[in-house]
Structure 1
């Protein structure tokens, strides 16, 4: 790569500098409910922290002060920026549900109606139609067992359990509570039910999404289970930062999403040859050298550099071009 000199007037471009705190998250060791924590983080920062990948989890595990949390109230949990959308039904064995509207459903007329606001789990009636139903009711259930590939067996469980108990039983003894994706499977399961004996199937309310409304495929739950009384999420720092359902009114520490500080500066370069300053390889090499120069001048390593493109797609302009662009 050809040698270049920095900050000498010849050609110019806009360089974006994004600087970060030591980590992208800010722990607050103050006891607040989930709603209070979210309001605090929105006012001071960028809302409660979204956790998008294992790198985020590792950052949180490295920076969370578990001793401080435990000293406050013995709680090892901290609120994070994930909420449950109770308008969407998901299957027990599917953690990520992108398009609920395209899936097979066999609701009884007028269902689901969430009667009295407490019907978050789903049963199949002996006529094969579905109702939403209170999750703490004790009923029979239908499990499924994966035999090989797409081949599964449906198993009627003649034992009264609430939804969570049925789900746990099916996961321990078989594969999971049954998911029903076709009318033919629905008919097979209907034939298993004794007259007057409705049973749990694996459908329940509660789709988890990031606070900005985006849907993430990344999940890091301690265990995947529905809980109609606990609709907020927290990271457990005695369990590798894994997520848990928590009552939204519980007071605990929380994690805010810190804003990224951005600055745009004009860079002027002198070149000694016909080097193409809009060549991607050249631009990448320039960024590396600029970053090293900033480090040598004492700037913290916690920053990134990027070029800002002009409307015509160019990054660099010769000095005379810049003058013409400014006056036109």
Structure 2
């Protein structure tokens, strides 16, 4: 075994500031050229980094743009193609509680006109009459359906006649069964439907997290105008001069705000003891991959890692 010191250089371009306290700050640019949301996004990507991501009060403190028209597009959108016309595989698509992942089969049983995200509140799923699905406000008190998996890898559904919010129902199912009902095909949907009484509309395991930024990252900082009126064709977001948010049809033309993230370079020194030859490209490629996976799990995005070995010390001759 021998000690070996190596240096790794990381080039960071666009980090998730919500998970990194010492990342490069975003710099904002107000563009007084009215465009629809999609054209504004392309303009920002061509000239800067992207349409503005605003995820903290610190971001807002750097946003010193003049708002001559009171409103401007930012990078927040809830693309209906990801959740309204299919089960989708995007950040804001419907997911199953037991996996936290989008549907593997794409099976869905939404009723006509559903889901509709009414009043910007309905982000949890229920099973209604004839086995069709509706989206509902997760804070409602409802009965629910749990499930277990048998030894034959078949789902066994159990109806619970105990009123709970979606979150409390999830906790109950995880404690006593596997989870809230996960339904991935027509046979499973029929089986779950048979457990519930006629007219009941119990929770199932469907949920989603609406609104994502232009780069597809999740939105964790919200500041909606309490007087904003929601309509079902308003899927893009404006920021007003009070830094409150309004949803608006994406086809409308407004000025917009871009952000720029400067490149940041960091060097890590790592000392390790190993018999492996760390000058071997195959070995350090594996180490780089492991470091890449670690940083990704920490929520960092859009970075590059480079390997740099220090020069070997030469022994002094007497």
State the TM-score, normalizing by the size of structure 1.
Answer: 0.44
- Structure of larger gyration radius: 1
